[in-house]
Structure 1
Amino acid sequence: MDLADTIKDENEASNQDRAKAMICLRHHLDESLKMEYLTVKDPLMLWNNLKDRDDHLKMVVLPQASFDWIHLRLQDVKSIRVYNSAMFKIISQLKLCGENITDHDMLEKTFSTFHPRVCSCSSNTEK
């Protein structure tokens, strides 16, 4: 819609473009956020408020998600389903914060946290 200039510092966008930008931004907000930012009339101010909110959320979520990822172990849960659910929840949080978890990372995490008795079965076949 060519409205990116309305959310830049010291912009000289027209009032009409600012109004269009506000309509567009509000259209994509969750209802609770629409109510929270109802009094904000400037698209730049709304954009900056939302960015600050997002940055704060990342600052809170990332340390906990990183901690959970480090301490996630297959041997600590009752089933693969519970493990997968926990793993994908943590991965979603990490992705929200800009961290990239690859399929290789997931496989490595899973294989490295098997109970030792499960992993030692190959050495038993050699005897």
Structure 2
Amino acid sequence: MLNLNKLDFTALEVFRRNYLKWVQDVKLYLIANNLRPAIEDETDNLVGEAEKATVMIFIQRHIHDALQTEYLADEDPRGLYVTLADQFDHQKDIFLPKARHDWQHLRSQDFKYVNEYSYEVCRIQSLLRFCNETLTE
């Protein structure tokens, strides 16, 4: 079954290609709507059932249909979020060394235009920043 509703951002793909972007979008959306405690550790925050259901619907809408079927039994948004992280979160282990390598071997003379060089600098820096932030969480 296809998701016919307009999504707030691209759904998580089965092949993990967009996990890092997806997890960042989910966190930002939940922060903006004061729903992030629903996926955080439950020791300090009490989240109501309505908030949990809202977050669960949101996450289910933003994952591929095959993943929706695979995680159909999950009813807790934190449990689903942690399960997805366990399955897909190893990507930063792949991207971080590559980004560090690209940064160390970045040379301005390899680019024809300054804006191409600037774009590459920004791309590598944002990838490094994102990987370092997710490692410290």
- TM-score of the superposition, structure 2-length normalised? 0.52
Report how far residue 95 of structure 1 moved. 1.3
Relative contact order higher in (CA < 8 Å, ≥ 6 apart)? 2
The offset of 1:69, in angstroms, is 0.5
Sequence identity of aligned pairs in percent? 27
Correspondence for 2:41: 8
**1:55-74 to 2 correspondences below 5 Å:** 55-74=89-108
Q: How many residues get paired?
A: 95
Give the Å deviation of 1:23. Answer: 1.7
Structure 1, residues 63-83: CA drift from partner, whole Å, max 9, x if none?
111110000000121110110
Separation of aligned partners in 1, 2:49 and 2:39: 6
2:80 equivalent in structure 1: 46
Q: Aligned equivalents of 2:77 and 2:60: distance in 1?
A: 16
Question: Which residue does the alignment assign to 1:98?
Answer: 132
Aligned: 1:21 with 2:55: no
Native 8 Å contact 2:35 2:51 kept in 1 = no
CA distance in 2, matches of 1:4, 1:61: 28
| Unmatched 5+ stretches in structure 1 | 100-127
Structure with more of its chain in helix, by fraction: 1
Of the three residues 81, 88, 105, the one matched with 2:115 is 81
For residues 33 and 47 of structure 1, the distance between their equivalents in structure 2, rounded to whole angstroms, comes to: 11
User: TM-score if structure 1 supplies the norm length?
Assistant: 0.55
Secondary structure, in 3 states, of the residue corresponding to 1:41? coil
Q: Please state whether the residue corresponding to 1:33 is helix, strand or coil.
A: coil
